[in-house]
Amino acid sequence: MISNTIDQEIKKAMLAKNNAQLRGLRAIKAALLLAKTEKGSSEEITEEAEIKILQKLIKQRRESADIYRQQNREDLYQVENEEIEVINQFLPKQLDREEVASIIEGVIKQSGATSVKDMGKVMGMANAALAGKADGKLIAEIVKEKLA
């Protein structure tokens, strides 16, 4: 589980005086602690839930980085990218576009979808099959292409 590794990595980053690594690790730890203490959540977070939290953190940082890039704030853009790199270390290897497309083709065949009207059904199955392995935006883009 990711939460078990984070504390050890924080100690290593502190000893190495690696501020970029430390910022990213602390962001992960804060998000995981927040999820643990949310109302109605169980004491332990599943590994699947941890991956979703990390993906959310990366998405937030990408959006921020895009805004900083548009505003010509390279200093802040760089900070966001450093944190994205740190968070990515704890996610499963992301599949490339071709691998995602082949999995989605299988999902479409399995679901019997024939048009864009079936996109919701295909997206549900595709997101389940590719959980943590591909970005949701990429999945939606490929499903749309295949069903068009």
Q: Residue 67 in contact with residue 102, Cβ under 8 Å?
A: no
Q: How do the pLDDT tens digits run along the chain, 148 residues long?
A: 787 789 899 999 999 999 999 999 999 999 998 988 886 666 677 888 888 889 899 999 999 999 999 999 999 999 999 999 999 898 888 888 898 889 988 888 888 888 888 888 888 888 888 877 888 888 888 988 888 7
Per the structure block, which two tokens stand in for 93?
């290897």
Instruction: Please state, in angstroms and rounded to a whole number, the distance separating the CA atoms of residues 64 and 71.
Output: 11
Three-class secondary structure of residue 42 per DSSP: coil
In the chain the domains, ranked by start, together with CATH numbers, are 2-89 (1.10.1510.10), 97-147 (1.10.10.410)
